[in-house]
C-alpha cells in the first residue's frame, strides 16, 4: 500500500485548459518530487521541494508550475500545454537526508489534445 496518493489518476485536457495535479504523502517525509515519464523514455526529474523550499527546477517550461504549501502536499499547475506534454506524471516523497529512498505515487496519466 503506497503512502503517496495522486489525483486525478487520468486527465484529458485541451491546450488552452488550466488544470492542477495533486499529490499527498502520509509518510511524514520532508521532501517531495515531481517526475515526468514519457512513452519509451526514462523518468525525468522535474521539480524538488526539500523542507518546503524548491531546490531543483530541471529546465522545465514555465507552463508547468509547482506549488508546495506544506510538507505533505504538492501540486503541479498546468496551463497551455502541448501534445508532447502527454505523459505519466509521478510524485514521490522522501526523508532528507537520505532522499535516495523515495516512495512514489501511482501517477497521473495526462493526455493533451
Partner 1 sequence: DAKTTQPPSMDCAEGRAANLPCNHSTISGNEYVYWYRQIHSQGPQYIIHGLKNNETNEMASLIITEDRKSSTLILPHATLRDTAVYYCIVRVRAGGTSYGKLTFGQGTILTVHP
The residue ranges that bind partner 1 (CB under 8 A) are: 2, 4, 31, 33, 42-43, 45, 48, 50-51, 55-56, 88, 90-92, 94, 96-107, 109
Residue with smaller CB distance to partner 1, 52 or 67: 52
Burial of 42 (0-12, 13-18, 19+ CB in 10 A): exposed
Residue with smaller CB distance to partner 1, 21 or 31: 31
Give the nearest distance from C-beta 84 to partner 1 in angstroms: 20
Give the nearest distance from C-beta 102 to partner 1 in angstroms: 6
Residue with smaller CB distance to partner 1, 10 or 62: 10
What are the beta bridge partners of residue 20? 77
Dihedrals φ, ψ of 83, to 5°?
Answer: -55, -30
Residue with smaller CB distance to partner 1, 36 or 85: 36
Could you tell me which of 87, 42, 40 has the C-alpha nearest to residue 61? 87
List, in order, residues 6 or more apart from 78 with CB less than 8 Å away.
13, 17, 18, 19, 20, 21, 63, 64, 65, 85, 110
Find cell 537520505 and name the residue. 98
Give the nearest distance from C-beta 25 to partner 1 in angstroms: 12
Give the nearest distance from C-beta 22 to partner 1 in angstroms: 15
Amino acid at each position: 500500500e503506497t503512502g503517496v496518493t495522486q489525483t486525478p489518476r487520468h486527465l484529458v485536457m485541451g491546450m488552452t485548459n488550466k488544470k492542477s495535479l495533486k499529490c499527498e504523502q502520509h509518510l511524514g517525509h520532508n521532501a517531495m518530487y515531481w517526475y515526468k515519464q514519457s512513452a519509451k523514455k526514462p523518468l525525468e526529474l522535474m521539480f524538488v521541494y526539500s523542507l518546503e523550499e524548491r531546490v531543483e527546477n530541471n529546465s522545465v517550461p514555465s507552463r508547468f508550475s509547482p506549488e508546495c504549501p506544506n510538507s505533505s502536499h504538492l501540486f503541479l499547475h498546468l496551463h497551455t500545454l502541448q501534445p508532447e506534454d502527454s505523459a505519466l506524471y509521478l510524485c514521490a516523497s522522501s526523508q532528507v537526508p537520505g532522499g535516495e529512498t523515495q516512495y512514489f505515487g501511482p501517477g497521473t496519466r495526462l493526455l493533451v489534445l
